[in-house]
Structure 1
Amino acid sequence: MKINSKISNLLEQFTLKKRIVFIFAVGTLIPFVCTALISYNAMSSILSSKLDSGVRSNLKNVQQSLESTIDNLNHVSQQLVIPGSVGGYLDTYLHTEQPYERAKYYQDIKTKLNEITFTNPGIGLTMYYSDEENNYLFNTSGVKNDFTINRLPLLVNHFRIANFGPHISNELHSNRYVFSVLRKVDLPERDDIYVYIESDLKHTQNILQRDQTGEQDYYLILDNHGRIVYSEVNNPFQENTYFEGGKSGKGLLNEYYWFKETSDQGWSIVSLIPVAKYNEEKNQWVVQMIYLSIIFGVLSLIIAWLLWKMVYKPLQKFDKEINWMMQSDFQSETFRTRIPEFDYLLRQFRKMKNQISDLFKEIEQKEKRRADLEVEKLLYQINPHFLMNTLDTANWLAVMNDQKDISQLVTSLNRLLYYNLGKAGQTSTIMEEIETLKQYLAIQKFRYDFEFEVRIYTDDVILNNPVPRFILQPLVENAIYHGLSDEGYIYVEVRNDNHNIQIEVNDNGAGISEEAVDRLLNQNQTKQQKDGMGIGLNYVKRMLENHYEGKAKLEIKSLVGKGTSVFLTLPILEVDARD
């Protein structure tokens, strides 16, 4: 269950865009990756077989060429040692003491050697060598001064014949590699004479440089014991060390792939190819596949992005429609997605939006009618209540005072009743509200048996500005009602404040608690009627809501024992709406 919950939470974090891109990318790349892997394995096998075949073919050719060179050396050397040929002349030459005879035999031997070397183009330096005297005779070309047999790398050693090489030629002024053979000459009285023959310089060099694999392989030549007698890679394959690749024909050693061919004579030739070179062609193919993967990946992401845009744009338009509806904007512009399914949903949504708009208008009209009725109801609640109290006061004055007071009271009462009994919802002016407030205060001074001071300040600029009828008197009535006593005062100020009419009513009465302020501003009318409080204030609040549609503001600040301040902020109306 926990795993399912984690998976569900993870899926919820994936937006539509991420899901589309992920699914499309996976659906595109997985077949391509599988195809690429299968192709890589097949291509790698083909390339490896092709390269192995080429290396082995080239190695076999080199091995056969070297075998042919060595066989040729052995064959020529045999001609120089058998009795009845040059070998016979050599024995006569060595035992002849007469200068003339020696010169004649010397010339004959030189002629024979020249004939043999001329008829064998694969032959280079040729001479007879005395092991005991460390001296050479009848050399066909100049010989280096440091010539010695002991320094030559032995390749194959058979009875009475030794093959060396490759090594630097002992021919004077030559630094090329050659193969050589040292063969013992059978003489009756001399056991230290050998014939020494080197392969042709250019021929040997061409064999060793023969490369059909793009100059990417190197050669090792091993003797019949596996010792390296010739190396083109001294590090790590040094001469006179043993090759550790084993007897197989292929392997990997010291970052080189190696291939080995063994001759019938027992020696071996090894071709070395660096791993990087060996894998170069495969790596080129891999790089091409990577580029193709990147191209396919980019294309799949672009297609996924286009697919997401095709879905996202209609969703954006739906979002705009919803935001416009949340902002009560039911007259938004009409647009199309040009996708039939989304256009159908948009049409259905607009139908629903129009129905909601009609419902809002109907509710708004009903609320406005209900507010007007409640305002009128409040007026009829206030006026009889006020009239009964005032008449009681008039009756008391008729008994207790003379006729002048009664006349003045009734005059003020008539003016006040005429104004207050006007039709609910009508507008008045600041000047009319102030004049009516003065009549109301004159009557209140008759009603109460204490004196209180009233100060009224008005800004002349806004005296003729329209305001809802009957909004000042309830505020002053609350000031008198909430604990005003002797030495009390009421301060009324009406001023222009930044394109608003600011009305402030202050008193130094008993004040009211925060809970009572909250009840006056927020509780319903029924509870206020039960305790006889806030009827007029509730009327003012409802009139402001109905007349200014939420743009007016009513605030009350009070401290118990200090007094109360009521603040009205009314937008200035541009047109006088009075009947």
Structure 2
Amino acid sequence: MENALQSNLKQDLTTLENAINNLNHVSQQLAYGGGTNRLLEQLQAESEPYERLRIMNEIKTELNVISFSNPNVGLLMYYDAGQGTYNFENFRVRGTFKPERLPVMAEYPEITYYGPYKSYNGSINQYVFSIMRKVNLQEQNAYLYIETGRNAIQSLFAPQNRKDSSRRLLILDNKGRIAFSEVPEAFPENVSFSQLASNAKSGIHGDYFWNREQSNQGWSIVSVTPEKELNRERNRWLVQITVIFLAFLFVATFFSWVLWKMVYRPLDKFHKEIKSLVDSHPEEPVEVTHIPEFDYLLYQTRRMKGKIWSLYEEIEVKEKRRADLEVEKLLYQINPHFLMNTLDTVHWLALMNGQKEIDRLVLSLNKLLHYNLGKMGETSTIGDEIEALKEYLQLQQIRYDFQFDVDMDVDEKALLIPCPRFLLQPIVENALYHGVSDDGYIYAGVEWKEQELLVTIQDNGAGMQQEMIDRLLDDDAKESHKVGMGIGMKYVKRILYATYGETAAMEIKSEPGAGTMVQLRLPITGGEQNL
């Protein structure tokens, strides 16, 4: 409250200083200007009535122009201190003008500040401040008197401001004397303010609280407020602050409740639903929040929970099947092992009985089975594939009742290149089943070409139509699912894609009666990396 009073007092001081500075500026313009002073000197020297009248009209015109251009200037006139008379007034003067009766705010050799007091302007009836400055004229004791205008200090002494404020004003001159007082019972006029209160900026005297602000000219303005009014104002502010605080607390509590109901509680339900993804069954009932967005999230969470439970059940089934497959895998591992041991026994019996052809057949079959039934994760090379292919062709030459020749041409640099297991045998097997007959011929070649291997399997058999080639290369063709009609080619194509991706290629060239050629292009770098 005290800070508000001090702030208002500073605004009042600024308003009053601006008004007096404006009077000072206008007085300087007239007191030291050449035009008006020159006319006053001419008027004093002129004796002819008509010429004097003309000069007086010019002086009034000059004063009217200045008065019109400065709306904060009120009564303006020249005062002759020797004769006690005034002239060239711009408004009607009320009563008898006596400068010595005016309350002095500050007094200097050539200028004096007065106020506040009731204006001598007959057009208004309000408090004004004024200035009286000596005019620079030879052989004349003339002074320029200027009052503040109607609206210059209206905010200080306007009656409508008194209705809503208990504040009263004191004006102290530059010597600290009370020149004007609105509280004469506590702060009488013409008494030094320091006798009643300290020289501080604020304090308490009697039943009044006062604030003081000093101007640059030395005079001061003091705001006086009854202490009971100040306490009443404090209580009013306290009540207002309490009401505002309680209202804010109520609004904050209300919004907190709304936030809890619309956000926190649904989020809590959503949090519980997330935590219960594994602990609860998806068929349990879901609590709704009656908020569409949260209910939708809960619904989606419930759907996700159902999918998770389905995955759990699927995993359980797969785990059970995996256990069964482990048993089956052991059985499948036992059977080939038993078969190869049996063939090994047959090999030794044939060797002991001198059955060299049977011995060679069983030995080739044992080697071929050992290679083809190896683990899929084991590394194989082009050399391993060629050796397995030789064993396979040797078995087939004994099996079939027709004769065919085999020619192999393999680049030695390619023997150690990694490649998928069981890659060449299906292609040769397809040629034997569907192409080669008596006096047949099969060529198997591996050629190193820069960063790829070119594998060629060629026969001179019956060949095939383009439609058959398309069916062999088409994974979705129904004919390719028939036994002996492309199962091996389908395996080769898929193992190439699984091992090399798009970097490997398989091409089949054939004509009826002219044989068939199958070419595989295997990337060396890609094959090494993938394998």
> TM-score by structure 2 length?
0.43
More RCO (CA 8 Å, sep 6+):
1
Q: Taking structure 1 as the reference length, what is the TM-score of the superposition?
A: 0.39
